[in-house]
């Protein structure tokens, strides 16, 4: 089990949303860092040793989700000892964009599973925010990131436009202030995927406010792999062969990132 590497400090808040936080870590830290959506992980004061998140302090919502802690065995290879979290966008009741009866959530998961196999073949430890077609919230996803400080995070999505079938290509999103390695990760993963597929290069958007990159404390990138709304790209994104190319490109990008971080 991995706990975020921040020691508990005396918290002025011990009970919130009816939950006693007196024995858990760093509530103040998260409230100060993330004033709009505070969340928290720690040992469950109700007894079970687990990670959990509560959210919705300023949104007027309240919720609690247990965050599953995964500890898969590490493999042998150039990525041995390196952990990658793969995040298949959407899932369950949230299909993402839908074109011609194809749900984005399923394309995302398919690309993630292919990428997982390729990364593991290189020795990486791979964690998934969702291994199947289940709904997980954005809060769950970024808490999952932040309870794995040793990992890097890659979120996989497809794009769509409402009334345009000609726009195509890849783009990537990251947020760096306080998390400078995110741009390096984005550059490696994005250029790996663009090179492997030959997709149109739409660029990397920095300072993104997408939650899974904005709230991450580990290097994080969200990759938009292409447009399901594109007449040209739809058959590619839904083909196993093209998904293999995307997965291979991401894997190459991770290999480059790891080599770069060791310089």
Task: Write each residue from 26 to 45 as x if it is in contact with Zn ion (CB under 5 A), else as -, in one continuous string.
Answer: --------------------
Q: Is 192 in the site for Zn ion (CB under 5 A)?
A: no
Among 41-49, 59-67, 85-93, 195-203, the segment contacting Zn ion (CB under 5 A): 85-93
Interface pick for Zn ion out of 41, 85, 87, 89 (rule CB under 5 A): 89
Q: Please calculate the CA angle 259-262-263 and round it to the nearest 5 degrees.
A: 95
Q: Is 96 in the site for Zn ion (CB under 5 A)?
A: yes
Among 30-38, 88-96, 122-130, 205-213, the segment contacting Zn ion (CB under 5 A): 88-96
Closest-CA residue to 169 (of 191, 193, 200, 192): 200
Residue number with CB closer to Zn ion (120 or 224): 224
> Smallest distance from the beta carbon of 166 to Zn ion, in angstroms?
20
Q: How far is CA 172 from CA 79, 134, 154, 157, in A?
A: 23, 24, 10, 10
Residue number with CB closer to Zn ion (181 or 205): 205
Per DSSP bridges, beta strands 63-67 and 51-55 are antiparallel
Residue number with CB closer to Zn ion (124 or 128): 128
Residue number with CB closer to Zn ion (79 or 97): 97
**Residues 131, 155, 171, 124: what is their CA dihedral angle, to the nearest 10 degrees?**
-90
Q: Give, rounded to a whole angstrom, the gap between the first and last alpha carbons of the chain.
A: 29
Q: Please calculate the CA angle 13-52-38 and round it to the nearest 5 degrees.
A: 45
Task: Write each residue from 123 to 162 as x if it is in contact with Zn ion (CB under 5 A), else as -, in one continuous string.
Answer: ----------------------------------x-----
Contact positions vs Zn ion (CB under 5 A): 89, 96, 157
């Amino acid at each position: 089990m991995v706990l975020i590497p921040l020691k508990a400090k005396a918290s002025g808040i011990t009970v919130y949303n009816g939950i006693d936080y007196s024995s858990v870590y760093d509530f103040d830290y998260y409230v100060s860092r993330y004033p709009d959506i505070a969340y928290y992980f720690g040992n469950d004061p109700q007894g079970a040793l687990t990670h959990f998140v509560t959210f919705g302090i300023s949104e007027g919502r309240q919720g609690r989700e247990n965050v599953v802690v995964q500890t898969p065995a590490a493999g042998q290879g150039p990525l041995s000892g390196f952990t990658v979290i793969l995040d298949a966008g959407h899932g369950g009741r949230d299909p993402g964009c839908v074109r011609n009866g194809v749900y984005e959530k399923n394309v995302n998961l398919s690309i993630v599973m292919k990428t997982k196999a390729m990364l593991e073949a290189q020795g990486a430890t791979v964690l998934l925010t969702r291994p199947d077609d289940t709904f997980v919230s954005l809060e769950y996803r970024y808490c999952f990131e932040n309870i794995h400080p040793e990992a890097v995070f890659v979120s996989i999505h497809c794009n769509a436009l409402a009334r345009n079938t000609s726009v195509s290509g890849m783009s990537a999103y990251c947020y760096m202030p306080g998390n400078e390695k995110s741009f390096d990760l984005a550059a490696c993963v994005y250029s790996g995927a663009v090179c492997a597929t030959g997709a149109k290069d739409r660029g990397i958007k920095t300072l993104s406010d997408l939650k899974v990159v904005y709230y991450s404390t580990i290097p994080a990138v969200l990759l938009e792999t292409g447009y399901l709304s594109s007449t040209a790209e739809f058959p590619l994104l839904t083909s196993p062969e093209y998904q293999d190319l995307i997965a291979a490109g991401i894997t190459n990008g991770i290999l480059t990132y790891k080599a770069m971080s060791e310089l």
